Amino acid sequence: MNPVTRLIRMAADYKWWMLLAALLGFLTVGSSIGLLMTSAYIISKAALHPSISELQVGIVGVRFFGISRGLFRYLERLVTHDTTFKLLTRFRVWFFEALEPLAPARLQKYKSADLLNRIVSDVQTLEHFFVRVLAPPMVAVGISLLMWILLRVYDPVFGITILLFHALAGLAVPALSYLWAQGTGEAILKLRADLNVLILDQIQGMAELTVFNGQDSHRKQINEVNRKLDRLEQKMTRISALHEALIGLLMNAAVLTMLVFAIPLVQQNTLDGVYLAVIVLGVMASFEALLPLPEALQFLEKNSRAAGRLFEMVDATPEVREPDVPEALPDSADFAIKELTFRYEPNATPTLQDISLSIPAGSRIAIVGPSGAGKSTLIQLLLRFREYHTGSIQLGSVELKKMDSEQVRKQMAVVSQSTFLFDSTVRENLLLAKPQAEEQDLTQALQAADLWNFVSGLEQGLEAEVGAHGQKWSGGQRQRLAIARAVLKEAPVLLLDEATSGLDAFTEQAVLETILTRLSGITIIHITHRLVMMDRFEQIVVLCKGRIIQQGTHKSLLQKEGFYKEMWQLQRQQDMLAN
């Protein structure tokens, strides 16, 4: 289905508001026409020195249309903007609701800047959909019919003439402008998206660009894209100026044609000469409704392209399908994985193959292995971020895919390698896990993460800002805040996905000690390639190339030759060299 058609269907909930706004727009332009026509009548009639009584109707008309024009303009702007914001809210909520089930699996192929551009710029582009695309044609059609009715009272030829010139100004000029600008709107959207990607890369990669002397080349790319964008926007400006000139030319031609037809009628005494100015000024005022039409087609292209980019994303099939009738969560938090095999693509090499694993509730298990072994993929499957098709994952005695994903995730808290902290306060970042948490809950969570002494020592305490991505804090403090957030969630399962890999050895050991000592009674699944404090885990699973190649305790695995012992020895050598 055409993107514009789909947008119109989405906007149908506000059809009465849109019709009211279009009616007010029609009344505004109609009042302008009435004001000029009655003013022309008074001036022309007054030149003949009639009695004041003959001018009373015209005087009342000028007062009425002068006041009503301002009133209708105010109401039209009020209703139009209110309708626009309603539609914009509708589009934003729709896009987010459609986007959320696709995360993270279906969104990984998009760059973060491209996603941001679609969520912000493309959705923002749709704010013009009603004001610049839908409303102007409705107002123009209404005004054309009004002028046809008014002018045919004087002579049927006048009505046909105004319809002809309105058709040229309302159809031919916009079509010509559209042909000149065809493809330009799409190119502008693409260049803006490219520019946003480059600028975001510049900001996020500032340190790397500086270290490797890449700032100049990256700046040249930005300048080149900016120059192309500037040229296209100048082209659009020239087209807009040209279509305004063409409509002005058609307006003058319409006036001239009307005079050609009207003057002989005046000479023949079939038309009062007073009405010459009335007709001319009425024709001129009516073209106000036609001025936005060429621009409407340009905005139609932009809106169509922006909507197409949004529909491209939301039309994707979610990776995880929710069951029609989800089963209830079991009381137990035991995990049982049986003969699990997973591929990212149907014909790709399995990322996980024949994985069978039992994780009792309250146990502590470490899943280790080199990068690319499939550790993080296993976490994604447990969190229902991706769908498995071969094998089984059971929570309690219930198949994971038969339960509601949101309910499954409520049973788990996650501390990842790249902890995301919002540019807000300590309190707000903690409340993400439990919005209804009390002050005492926050304090206990920070104490459990061994962070309370640090936070209470800050001047603003819980109201202290952590900065974008927690940049005002050290890596260890950020991870401890993530642990506090996980504790606050009170989930029975804690997933650590390389949670300590970016920390120095001392901080890494301290953070792990905090987790293992303070968080008792819950299941801890530690995904890592760093063999630190492995003797504190009840079970260690060694993954390599998607398969479980070893399994046991730290002590038992070191007593026999194998991959785990090699990893342990290699890490000890690296630690010795580092010290």
Measured CA to CA, the distance from residue 521 to residue 333 in angstroms comes to: 11
The per-residue pLDDT for range 479-522, each reduced to its tens digit, is 889 888 988 988 899 999 888 776 777 878 888 888 888 787 88
DSSP for residue 413 = E
Residue 299 confidence (pLDDT): 80
Residue 213 confidence (pLDDT): 84
Alpha carbon distances (Å) from 529 to 71, 216, 515, 574, 576 = 71, 37, 18, 14, 18
Q: Which residue has the tokens 């192309």?
A: 228
Instruction: Give the list of residues 6+ apart from residue 521 with CB closer than 8 angstroms, or none.
Output: 362
Terminal CA-CA length for the chain: 64
Measured CA to CA, the distance from residue 413 to residue 422 in angstroms comes to: 18
**CATH architecture observed for domain 335-578:** 3-Layer(aba) Sandwich (3.40)
Among candidate residues 495, 494, 493, 513, the one with its CA nearest the CA of residue 503: 513
Residue 427 confidence (pLDDT): 92
Residue 251 confidence (pLDDT): 93
- Which class for 262: exposed (0-12), middle (13-18), buried (19 or more C-beta within 10 A)? buried
Alpha carbon distances (Å) from 375 to 222, 386, 483, 534 = 38, 14, 20, 16
The per-residue pLDDT for range 26-65, each reduced to its tens digit, is 999 999 999 999 998 898 888 877 877 777 877 888 899 9
Residue 578 confidence (pLDDT): 63
Q: Which residue has the tokens 């409704």?
A: 289
Among candidate residues 132, 443, 170, the one with its CA nearest the CA of residue 296: 132
Three-state DSSP class for residue 398: strand
Residue 352 confidence (pLDDT): 92
- Which class for 61: exposed (0-12), middle (13-18), buried (19 or more C-beta within 10 A)? middle
- State the angle between helix axes of 475-489 and 439-448 in degrees (0 to 180), rounded to the nearest 10: 130
Residue ranges per structural domain of the chain = 3-314, 335-578
Residue 529 confidence (pLDDT): 85
DSSP for residue 357 = E
Residue 113 confidence (pLDDT): 67
Residue 579 confidence (pLDDT): 60
Residues (pLDDT < 70) of the chain are: 1, 113, 502, 577-579
Residue 393 confidence (pLDDT): 92
CATH for 3-314, options being 1.10.3450.40, 3.30.2290.10, 1.20.1560.10, 3.40.50.2300: 1.20.1560.10
pTM: 0.70
